[in-house]
A = this chain, B = another copy of it.
Amino acid sequence: MERTPYTPPAFEPGHVWLCGAGPGDPGLLTLHALHALQSADVVVYDALVSDAVLGLAGPQATFEYAGKRGGRPSPKQADISLRLVQRAREGKRVLRLKGGDPFVFGRGGEEALSLVAAGVPFRIVPGVTAGIGGLAYAGIPVTHRDTNQAVTFVTGHDASGDVTGVDWAALAGGAPVLVIYMAMKHLATIAERLVAGGRHGDTPVAIVSNAALPDQRVLETTLARAPADAEGAGMAPPCVVVVGEVARLRAGLDWLGALTDGKVLVADPLGLGRERRTG
């Protein structure tokens, strides 16, 4: 195998790179995103980008906060897009850094279309989304041959905070596994609608807060008990919620617990017996 080094694309002045930062662990940053951090003149970042990721920026980089979380002032989307255009027109290398992936409930498309309207050239750098990578850090695969061949990613509320834009009954009847972003605000309503749509209250659920960060917490519960259990355990955003049989795989696949806490994993978490298909 011929060895060839990684050659990043040039980060040109006046360009915007819209990058995903992954779920939290800086080790889940992509090479392109690291290159962007090391080259950028200005980093416009969201609340969900971890300090450990921002700490990889080059010494020349300045930082501008553009988060959208409760408690802190939230810039409007139009203001963020305008700022990106302004910084690019100043001839800066502008890194727009978002938690997870910019195209998975990240409004990356909207920001990019604003750049198109303003004639600002841009690049999209995908990232590891929390619904996949964050759950992997809890030992939960979003697909598994013995449980599901489809998975749905859905947001628990839109930018207005409303839950009603999603047809939860239809989703309940669709893919066997649901991964819900921003679920905590309306968790009781969501659980209720999924049960009304045909999901059993005993369906396994896992709630992962601060996924892939040192203070990651995982709550294992069921659809019926999830709202009360989450409140009792003090689970607070940011959280990823997974609904479906895959949540039971954590008993066998919590590699992080095994490596850091000596957790004993079981080889047959679904209880399929000795006759697991291995072909």
Q: Which residues of A contact B (CB under 8 A)?
A: 1-6, 8-9, 22, 25-32, 34-35, 51-52, 54-57, 59, 61, 63, 76-78, 81, 101-110, 112-114, 116-117, 121-129, 132-133, 135-137, 139, 141-145, 149-155, 158-159, 165-166, 170-171, 173-175, 249, 252-253, 255, 258-259, 265-269, 276, 278-279
Minimum C-beta distance from A66 to chain B (A): 14
The answer to whether A154 and B159 touch (CB under 8 A), given A78-B279, A103-B142, A132-B126, is: no
* B154 and A278 contact, CB distance less than 8 A: no
The answer to whether A159 and B145 touch (CB under 8 A), given A55-B1, A150-B166, is: yes
In the complex, chain B residues whose CB is within 8 Å of the CB of A265: 116
In the complex, chain B residues whose CB is within 8 Å of the CB of A63: 1
* A253 and B109 contact, CB distance less than 8 A: yes
The answer to whether A267 and B113 touch (CB under 8 A), given A6-B27, A149-B154, is: yes
* B55 and A4 contact, CB distance less than 8 A: yes
A143 to B56, CA, bound (A): 28
* B141 and A5 contact, CB distance less than 8 A: no
In the complex, chain B residues whose CB is within 8 Å of the CB of A102: 136, 141
In the complex, chain B residues whose CB is within 8 Å of the CB of A173: 170, 173-174
7 A/B residue pairs, CB under 8 Å, sorted by A: A1-B51, A8-B27, A103-B143, A109-B144, A110-B278, A113-B269, A126-B128
- Partner pick for A174 among B105, B145, B170, CB 8 A cutoff: B170
* B30 and A22 contact, CB distance less than 8 A: yes
Kindly report which residue of chain B lies nearest to residue A8, judged by CB atoms.
B27
- Partner pick for A55 among B2, B142, B145, B151, CB 8 A cutoff: B2
* A165 and B149 contact, CB distance less than 8 A: yes
* B150 and A154 contact, CB distance less than 8 A: yes
Minimum C-beta distance from A179 to chain B (A): 10
In the complex, chain B residues whose CB is within 8 Å of the CB of A109: 141, 144-145, 249, 253
